[in-house]
Amino acid sequence: MEYEGLWEYKDPIDKAALIYIFMPILRAEVAIFRQDYNNYPMQYNPLSQLPCGAPSGNLSVENDFSIQVERAWIESARETILEDYDPDAYMDLALSQEMDQLMALSPFTPHVHVGNAREQYLYLRQRLHDEI
């Protein structure tokens, strides 16, 4: 899209439209991949040089090399550094609601999926640029 002039790297409107349209699709794809990957059974490989057996037995170490972190420091960091941090939020709520309203008027459909994501992005991008 960048080569076709449909997305500019430093344009905040293009970035917001791209994130709004494609981030839910990417998150859904990653979730499916993660589920498939985590459900894949481990198999014995005769060519492997690694020890076989249960992971808990393979990872046991006689010496404890971990670093103890005080619980108070962790809580302090959460309160000061990570205040109001939501790992699932990737866009400002007000901007997201504005885009929801624009997408309700989309000529394609208000729903975005892999098949119409490009058209939805172009529609949303154009509407946002027209408002400014």
Task: Answer whether residue 12 is part of any domain.
Answer: no
| pTM as predicted | 0.67
Q: Write down the mean pLDDT value for the chain.
A: 84
Task: Answer whether residue 92 is part of any domain.
Answer: yes
Residue 104 contacts residue 110 (beta carbons within 8 Å): yes
Q: For 55, list phi and psi in degrees, rounded to 5.
A: -60, -35
Number of domains making up the chain = 1
Task: Answer whether residue 82 is part of any domain.
Answer: no
What's the pLDDT score for residue 84? 77
Task: Answer whether residue 74 is part of any domain.
Answer: no
d(CA 124, CA 108): 11
pLDDT digits (tens, 9 = 90+) for 13-36: 999 999 999 999 999 999 999 888
HSE-CB for 47 with a 13 A CA cutoff = 0
Mean pLDDT of 65-77: 84
Cα torsion 33, 36, 38, 41: sign = negative
Task: Answer whether residue 103 is part of any domain.
Answer: yes
| Tokens encoding 70 | 């005080």
Q: Which residue segment(s) compose the domain that 100 sits in?
A: 18-33+88-132
pLDDT digits (tens, 9 = 90+) for 100-115: 999 999 998 889 999 9
pLDDT digits (tens, 9 = 90+) for 5-14: 888 989 999 9
User: What percent of the chain stands above pLDDT 70?
Assistant: 81
